[in-house]
Amino acid sequence: MIEFETPKPIEQINNVVETVAINMMRPVSRYFDEHEHEIPWDYINFMHTAVKAMGGTSMAPDESTKPKDADPDKPKRPPIGYQRLAHMVEMLSWGDAGMYLCVPGGLLGSAAVAAAGNADQKKRFLSRMVGDKPAFDAMAMTEPQAGSDTSAIRATAVLDKDTQEWILNGEKIFVTAGHKALVESDGFVVVWASIDPSAGRAGMRAFVIEAGTAGCTVTKMEHKLGIRVSDTVSIVLADCRIPFGNILGSPTVEKTTKGFKGAMATFDATRPIVAAQAIGIARATLELLKEELEKNGIKIRYGLPRQKLTNIEREVIDMEVLFQSAWLLVIKALWMADNKINNPKEASMAKVRAGDIVVRITQKAVEILGPLGYSRDMLFEKWFRDAKITDLYEGTGQINRLVVARNILEYRGSELR
Partner 1 sequence: MYSFEPSEEQKMLVDAVRRYANDDLRAAYRDADEEGNLPPALIEKGWELGYLQASIPEAYLGFGERSVVTGALAAEEMAYGDLAAALAVMPPGLYTTPILMAGTEAQKNEFIPPVIEMEWKPFTAALMESKFDFDPNDLQTTAVLDGDAYVLNGEKVYVPYADGAQGMIVYANLDGETQGFVLPAGTNGLTVGERQKLLGLHALPLFPVRIENVRVPKENRLGGESGHDFAPIMDAIRVAMAAMAVGVSKAAFEYSRDYAKDRDVFGMKVAQKQAIAFMLAEMATEIEAIRLLVWQAAWMLDNGKAEASKQAYLAITGAADMAMVVTDRAVQILGGHGYIREHPVELWMRNGRGFATFTGLAIV
**Number of residues assigned to the chain:** 417
329: contact with partner 1 by CB under 8 A: yes
- Residue 278 is a binding residue for partner 1 (CB under 8 A): no
CB of 339 or CB of 375, closer to partner 1 = 339
Among 32, 43, 335, 384, contact with partner 1 (rule: CB under 8 A): 335
Cβ closest to partner 1, residue 83 vs residue 194:
83
Q: Which stretch in 34-42, 261-269, 322-330, 362-370 sits in contact with partner 1 by CB under 8 A?
A: 322-330
How distant is the alpha carbon of residue 56 from its chain centre? Answer: 17
Q: Which residues contact 390 (CB under 8 A, 6 or more apart)?
A: 97, 274, 275, 277, 278, 281, 354, 355, 358, 359
- Rule CB under 8 A: say whether 304 interacts with partner 1: yes
Contact flag: residue 78 with partner 1 (CB under 8 A): yes
Q: Which is nearer to partner 1, 138 or 278 (CB)?
A: 278
Single-letter amino acid, residue 53 = A
Strand partners, 192: 206
Judge whether 90 counts as a catalytic residue: no
- Coil, helix or strand at residue 98: helix
Shortest distance, CB of residue 331 to partner 1, whole angstroms?
6
Q: How far is the CB of 386 from partner 1 (least distance, A)?
A: 22
Among 302, 310, 342, 377, which residue interacts with partner 1 (rule: CB under 8 A)? Answer: 302
Distance between CA atoms of residues 148 and 146, nearest Å: 6
Q: Which residues make beta-bridge pairs with 139?
A: 190
CA nearest neighbour of 21 among 103, 105, 84: 103
The alpha helices in 296-379, defined as continuous H runs, are: 311-338, 344-368, 370-374
Q: Which residues contact 201 (CB under 8 A, 6 or more apart)?
A: 150, 151, 257, 260
* Residue among 156 and 407 whose Cβ is closer to partner 1: 407
Asked if 235 and 256 touch (Cβ cutoff 8 Å), the reply is: no
Binding residue count for partner 1, defined by CB under 8 A: 46
Given a contact cutoff of 8 angstroms between Cβ atoms, the answer to whether 3 and 328 are in contact is no
Distance in angstroms (rounded) separating the CA atoms of residues 312 and 282: 17
Residues 42-61 that bind partner 1 (CB under 8 A): none
Whose CA is closest to 112, among 267, 315, 275?
Answer: 267
Using CB under 8 A, which of the segments 100-108, 149-157, 243-251, 399-407 binds partner 1?
399-407
Catalytic hit among 287, 394, 410, 415: 394
307 binds partner 1 (CB under 8 A): yes
Query: Measured from the CB of residue 341, what is the shortest distance to partner 1 in angstroms?
Result: 9
364 binds partner 1 (CB under 8 A): no
> If binding is defined by CB under 8 A, does position 243 make contact with partner 1?
no
Classify residue 231 as exposed, middle or buried by CB count within 10 Å of its CB (0-12, 13-18, 19+): buried
Q: Which of 318, 363, 393, 396 binds partner 1 (CB under 8 A)?
A: 318
- Contact between 156 and partner 1 by CB under 8 A: the answer reads no
Instruction: Check residue 361 for interaction with partner 1 (CB under 8 A).
Output: no
Q: How far apart are CA 289 and CA 358, in angstroms?
A: 13
Q: Could you give the residue numbers annotated as active site?
A: 394
Q: Which residues bind partner 1 (CB under 8 A)?
A: 1-7, 78, 80, 83, 302-308, 317-318, 320-322, 324-326, 328-329, 331-332, 335-336, 346, 349, 352-353, 398, 401-402, 404-405, 408-409, 411, 415-417
